[in-house]
Structure 1
Amino acid sequence: MAGAGHTGGTGAPSAPMAPEELTARLEAIGAAAYVVDPQGCIIAVNGRAQALLALPAEDLVRHDAHDLLHRDLHGQPLARTQCTMRQAFLAGRPAQAERDYFLRGDGVLLPISWLLAPYDLGGEPGTLVLFHAAGRTEESGPPARRAAMGQLSELARLALLAETTTQLTSTLDVEEALHHLVHLVAPRLADWVVIDLITERDEVWRNTVVHVDGDTLTHVEELQGPMPPIPEESPMPLSRALRGVASTVAEPQTYDREPDSGIAVEQRRLFEVTGMRSAAIAPIRSTREVLGALTIGRDGTRPPFTTEDLPLLEDIARRAGLALDNARLYQRQRKVAETMQNHLLPQMPRVPNLQMTVRYLPAPHASQVGGDWYDAFPLADGTTALAIGDVVGHDLEAAAGMAQVRNMLRAYAWSLQEPPSGVVGRLDEAIQHITEVTMATLLFARLERVEDGRWELTWTNAGHPPPLLLSRDGLAEYLPGGHGLLLGTGAAAPRCDGRVFLPPGSTLVMYTDGLVEERGHVLDEGLERLRRHAAALAHRPLDSFIDELLSRVRPSENDDDVALLALRTPLSENTRSAW
């Protein structure tokens, strides 16, 4: 087999799943299962599949599943063009078959029933295959058990739970997780999906009311929004679910009685507006608290829900609760970290006759903080210091190290009447002994207005990408000179300075490597991309220039934070602003 699969959505891409983690997930499924990569090779298999196929994992993993296992009725290799499993695999869609044949390791031809579904491998598409020996299905079980699956086969139920786990754990964004949840249960189980969430202030918010008709998903916004408080003693189904008491089946008649709470009034309205004839309601719980409730509803074209349907809904809601709790914790951490970062990064000083602007973009898949930073501050002799740097890391530890380096640089720059190279040399000596910073890059400069009204820039570069200078006519060049080792190496190599006069109306761009580095590409490609786009944008006002530059140049697959500082000199001595 070879073909396409499915990924978990538009949120943050997750790291590739380790084989042992994938195998552990398959062991929890409760049926014979294996997963193949986009080329159709088996990458993980559980114990039930090994037993059923009479093959150990080492004889299955890294082999093409179709060539190794699939046979026709007579035990002969099955042509790929006749393989319905392969056709579904290529299309990247779920499929199932009641009768097919696998060849066991002992040479026995095994009649099987199978079901396959796309499976996210952590940013890479894969396919999950569930199978059992034909005739050994739950169809031979009691009718009540079959009803409990909501007319899904046991394999389909297990596949749905496996898909629920991988879809909901593929994102740390709450809204994206809820979007996945809707598509998992509708239209497979229901025509309506309603999600009520309990906010961090213990208020109830009806986040989602969706009707699914074929491939069309319609939000009924008039039913979404704030809800009344949760009643403490109400026996009504949604109230019980929001308290985490129990899952319940409901119908319009359930809410025909005199309402005992505001939530009961809203539920009566829900049935009236949607036309649902049957609903099943389950708590959405994490390991710590109740997060809300999941309601799925059916129109009159399908059989009503029964209590036998509740275990499957509870399984789905429990997985949703764990995913939502993780997403909320992650977003809370990002908010705290973002606030910390905003306090760590300084406000820019006002320098007469000079425009200056800065931007900071956090790494999209980290904790919203990192080691990239910028700074500008007045010095004792009246000149202006400019700095941009990068402490290794994308976490709170890197942010703390960044704050240490920045504060030490300010102290040395103010107290030492030395050129930038001397200041950075002293800083490098100090950070090795009194900080936890292991490695950092830094571009440090002094900007001075000399007697003839021109602006003179003197800088030293400790392993940092070079500054870019643009004329008002779009000529762009990287400033050479001033290069030295990055901070933290322990080498006592001398440092030097570069010096240049900034032309009238020119723009200086200082940036961190997250703006130009891209996985799989050499740095020169990123530098050329920056130079080309900056030259094309040189005529823009400074704020527009820097925003558009970030939009055009920052790699789409960037997983690094970016700091950027840009300044523009006036057109002439008497011009107080450019353009």
Structure 2
Amino acid sequence: MAGPEDTDPLGKRSPAAPAAGLTSVLEAIGTAAYVVDEEGHVVAVNAHAEQLLGRPAESFLGRDAHDLLHRDVHGHPLPRSQCRMRQAFHARRTAQAEKDYFECGDGTLLTVSWMITPYEAGGPEAGTLVLVHALRAPETGGRPETDPAAEPMPELERLALLAETTTRLTSTLDVEETLRRLTELVVPRLADWVVVDLITERDEVWRTAVVHAEGDGLVRLEELQGPMPPVPAESPMPLSRALRGVASALAGPRTYQREPDSGIAVEQRRLFEATGIRSAVIAPIRSTRAVLGALTLGRAKDPVDFTAADLPLIEDIARRAGLALDNARLYQRQRKVAETMQNHLLPQMPRVPGLEMTARYLPAPDASQVGGDWYDAFSLSDGATALAVGDVVGHDLEAAAGMAQLRNMLRAYAWAHKEPPSRIVDRLDEAVMHITDVSMATMILARIEERDDGHWELSWTNAGHPPPLLISHDGLAHYLTDGHGILLGTGVRTPRTDATAVLPPGSTLLLYTDGLIEAPGQTLDEGMDHLRRHAAALAHRPLTSFTDQVLHRVRHVRNDDDVALLAVRAPTGT
């Protein structure tokens, strides 16, 4: 509920600016539309609604839509108890009204029809989409009566379905989830059956989904799914034409009863026989770059055949599905490239007698966020072992490339110069802006070596990075906050310092990037305290289990950053 601090004296809430993606979706709908949040306040509106209702967007945003617009037939404010839209809104269901009254910005009363539907955009908050049409004067003149069941879908309902298709399909970047949502959108609303044939990246056709409505649920016929014969180049049959991106078409059992001209025609005959489909529409699934497949909607139990009037709607749905599937494929391809790049760039742990070491890299949920976090461990020319963890500013493949440059330069400097970590990082900082693509970066460089008394000593310098965490074998944990200096790439030359600590027997040293401790609505101090408490509780675990459980328990599920983690355990001694 909005508190007193969220509204002004006119009852206008102070919302965050509507997301650009949501606004662009509304603009593409083609009719007056706005979206309200779970309390009924307008969060986005398109230009069609501004024009129809004579109100600028600023007068919509943050206002309660019912109070702002709804009136009775006399132009008086409509009691909420009498508002059909309000009732459907609270029930989170789709509803429509053929006649209602909205007040325009100039105070005039506009007779409208409306449809609302729950809005799903993959975000944490629920919303509702409202579509509005101004009612036209009744047309005069004779008009032949037609069977209502054979009429094409009413314009408002069609627009509502297309809007729901756009919002639902564009809010996921997973191919399987896109297909599941597409199926739920069209079955049983438009058809008894939905069939999706996709063209793979190797130009093979795969029958990905054969689904039909059964009772209140959807059932998948897996025996009809799987690989399909190649697309014939000249076949005039509907599915072959759709898979070539030529055109959409109507089809039925008779279409495929003639002598088959290809393997695909044989499979289509089998489909019609197995499903009992008596009327179908087959439309290409296209992106802006290529034909991705074909969408088939079939009616077996529905007594009304598809007609040519149904083709534009099915084509629109298939086109939106194509854009969503193309985005999902591009995302998966980019993610695969990024993860492959990371796997090749991030090193294996060296074997150091007496020490245990393990590392983890967890990519960001969003492929575009992969790249900047890294770890490293390698032997030095004087017998010590270098440990490093860092984060290059930026979250993309360029950040990953910059990370590789930084890591390789660090290795060269550390091996060639037998100097303290602070001096090595100074050299790196002097060079980073001139011979790399890195703008700024944070990092910790440490060296660890065994002393004459058998204890292990750590010396390190910190360039603007979260501090290392040292956990004793019996669960005492504290951060190593000394040796802190400015991050790399600022152009500021300030002296860097080194710090030294002896690792207690059986203790665990944890180096990590900020993706481990950041979370929405949480300060870094809170995140560091969260890490400290869980790491202390896990101190008795074997190092591999310790590292995995730290990642599992500490990294917030809503964090969109990647994480690098390096853990070192000192021997327990005798």
Q: What is the TM-score of this pair, normalised by structure 2?
A: 0.91
1:284/1:320 contact within 8 Å kept: yes
| SS of the residue 1:367 aligns to | helix
Q: CA deviation at 1:202?
A: 0.5
Q: 1:496 to 1:144 in 2, by over 3 A?
A: farther
| SS of the residue 2:531 aligns to | helix
Question: What CA deviation, in whole Å up to 9, does each residue of 1:518-577 have, x standing for no partner?
Answer: 12211121112112222222222222221121111101110111000112223336xxxx
Q: CA deviation at 1:443?
A: 0.9
Q: Please give the residue correspondences for 1:342-491 in structure 2 after superposition, counting only pairs within 5 Å.
A: 342-367=343-368, 369-491=370-492
Residue 289 of structure 1 is matched in structure 2 by: 290
1:147/1:308 contact within 8 Å kept: no
CA distance in 2, matches of 1:549, 1:245: 54
| SS of the residue 1:130 aligns to | strand
Residue 516 of structure 2 is matched in structure 1 by: 515
% identical aligned pairs: 71
Residue 218 of structure 1 is matched in structure 2 by: 219
Q: 1:22 to 1:541 in 2, by over 3 A?
A: closer
Q: CA deviation at 1:436?
A: 3.3
Question: What CA deviation, in whole Å up to 9, does each residue of 1:33-67 have, x standing for no partner?
Answer: 33333432334444443444344444444432211
Q: 1:549 to 1:48 in 2, by over 3 A?
A: closer
CA distance in 1, matches of 2:360, 2:139: 60
Supply the AA of the counterpart residue of 2:111: P
Supply the AA of the counterpart residue of 1:53: L
Asked if 1:81 corresponds to 2:81, the answer is yes
Residue 41 of structure 2 is matched in structure 1 by: 41
1:203/1:229 contact within 8 Å kept: yes
2:178/2:325 contact within 8 Å kept: yes
CA distance in 1, matches of 2:269, 2:505: 71
* Cα RMSD (Å): 2.7
Residue 64 of structure 1 is matched in structure 2 by: 64
Question: Quick check: 559-568 or 162-171, which moved more?
Answer: 162-171
Residue 563 of structure 1 is matched in structure 2 by: 564
Residue 9 of structure 2 is matched in structure 1 by: none
2:212/2:219 contact within 8 Å kept: yes
CA distance in 1, matches of 2:296, 2:376: 52
Q: 1:147 to 1:28 in 2, by over 3 A?
A: farther
Question: Quick check: 389-398 or 39-48, which moved more?
Answer: 39-48
Q: Please give the residue correspondences for 1:210-359 in structure 2 after superposition, counting only pairs within 5 Å.
A: 210-359=211-360
2:25/2:167 contact within 8 Å kept: no
Residue 497 of structure 1 is matched in structure 2 by: 498
Supply the AA of the counterpart residue of 1:114: W
Residue 95 of structure 2 is matched in structure 1 by: 95
Question: Quick check: 81-90 or 131-140, which moved more?
Answer: 131-140
CA distance in 2, matches of 1:208, 1:171: 18
Question: What CA deviation, in whole Å up to 9, does each residue of 1:472-525 have, x standing for no partner?
Answer: 333322223222222223333222222222223222111001000112211121
Residue 29 of structure 2 is matched in structure 1 by: 29
2:149/2:304 contact within 8 Å kept: no
Q: 1:532 to 1:45 in 2, by over 3 A?
A: closer
CA distance in 2, matches of 1:406, 1:103: 64
Supply the AA of the counterpart residue of 2:364: A
Q: What is the TM-score of this pair, normalised by structure 1?
A: 0.90
Q: CA deviation at 1:457?
A: 1.3
2:378/2:387 contact within 8 Å kept: yes
Supply the AA of the counterpart residue of 1:341: Q
1:476/1:535 contact within 8 Å kept: yes
Residue 532 of structure 2 is matched in structure 1 by: 531
CA distance in 2, matches of 1:138, 1:567: 81
CA distance in 1, matches of 2:66, 2:215: 32
Q: Which runs of 5+ in 1 are unaligned?
A: 3-15, 574-579
1:364/1:560 contact within 8 Å kept: yes
Q: How many residues align?
A: 560
Question: Quick check: 424-433 or 154-163, which moved more?
Answer: 424-433
Question: What CA deviation, in whole Å up to 9, does each residue of 1:235-261 have, x standing for no partner?
Answer: 222112111122122222322333322
Residue 117 of structure 2 is matched in structure 1 by: 117
Q: CA deviation at 1:137?
A: 8.6
